[in-house]
């Protein structure tokens, strides 16, 4: 999912910070919009990366391909519509990542295909990794495994007994994710979906920018 080369890691740092910060901010923003002010009271309703990034989690992402941000605390009982609130808050993080990737693709294609600017290797790498990391971050968090966002979406549609069983998987989540990382399983999920989303974004922006070409 993430590279080990030093220059690659440096170029990827902006993408990781943006992906993690906006992901958590989106959770906080939607939770507040749904009636829970816990994120505001805990200082998470901000775009400041320092409020969202766990230094160890970021380091682990850079060197071990597996990490985490500081989770946003929410109180679903404060939502005006609990089920709707839980689903929207869970989807907000990955949604923010996909939106950032969509914008990153627009910037890349506008600069290179409309403005015909020859980007330096460094700038091209930074922009490309913002695109890739945000797409991968969004897909990864939609995996229906606690405590990832996908599990929270799924739980909203399960019976209490099924919710209990799914929540029970959280004690094994770290081990399961490690197995995903050291086997082809995660790549088999991420790579095709990531390529599909990138192609979709490129097609959309290609159609938009065709009026300038």
Cβ atoms of residues 101 and 109 within 8 Å: no
86 is catalytic: no
Query: Rounded to an integer, what distance in angstroms lies between the CA atom of residue 202 and that of residue 112?
Result: 13
Query: What is the average pLDDT score of the chain?
Result: 91
Query: Rounded to an integer, what distance in angstroms lies between the CA atom of residue 89 and that of residue 54?
Result: 20
Q: Is the pLDDT of residue 213 over 80?
A: no
> What's the rounded mean pLDDT across residues 23-30?
98
pLDDT digits (tens, 9 = 90+) for 104-153: 999 999 999 999 999 999 999 999 999 999 999 999 999 999 999 999 99
Query: Rounded to an integer, what distance in angstroms lies between the CA atom of residue 28 and that of residue 36?
Result: 9
Q: Residue 72 — very low, low, confident or very high, per pLDDT cuts 50/70/90?
A: very high
Confidence (pLDDT) at 3: 44
Secondary structure in 3-state letters for the chain:
CCCCCHHHHHHHHHHHHHHHHHHHHHHHHHHHHCCCCHHHHCCCCCCCHHHCCCHHHHHHHHHHCCCCCCCCCCCHHHCCCHHHHHHHHHHHHHHHHHHHHHHHHHHHHHHHHHCCCCCCHHHHHHHHHHHHHHHHHHHHHCCCCCCCHHHHHHHCCCCHHHHHHHHHHHHHHHHHHHHHHHCCHHHHHHHHHHHHHHHHHHHHHHHHHHHHC
**What is this structure's pTM?**
0.92
């Amino acid at each position: 999912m993430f590279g080990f080369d030093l220059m690659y890691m440096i170029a990827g740092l902006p993408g990781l910070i943006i992906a993690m910060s906006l992901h958590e901010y989106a959770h906080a923003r939607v939770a507040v919009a749904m009636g829970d002010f816990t994120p505001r009271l805990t200082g998470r309703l901000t775009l400041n990366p320092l409020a969202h990034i766990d230094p160890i989690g970021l380091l682990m992402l850079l060197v071990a391909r597996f990490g985490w941000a500081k989770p946003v605390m929410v109180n679903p009982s404060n939502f005006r519509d609990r089920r709707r609130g839980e689903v929207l808050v869970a989807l907000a993080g990955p949604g923010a990542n996909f939106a950032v990737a969509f914008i990153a693709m627009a910037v890349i294609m506008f600069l290179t295909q409309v403005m015909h600017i020859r980007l330096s290797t460094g700038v091209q790498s930074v922009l490309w990794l913002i695109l890739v990391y945000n797409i991968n971050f969004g897909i990864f968090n939609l995996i229906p495994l606690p405590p990832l966002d996908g599990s929270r979406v799924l739980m909203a549609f399960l019976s209490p007994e099924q919710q209990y069983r799914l929540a029970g998987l959280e004690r094994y989540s770290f081990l399961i994710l490690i197995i995903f990382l050291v086997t082809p399983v995660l790549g088999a999920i991420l790579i095709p979906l990531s390529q599909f989303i990138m192609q979709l974004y490129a097609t959309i922006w290609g159609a938009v920018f065709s009026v300038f070409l």
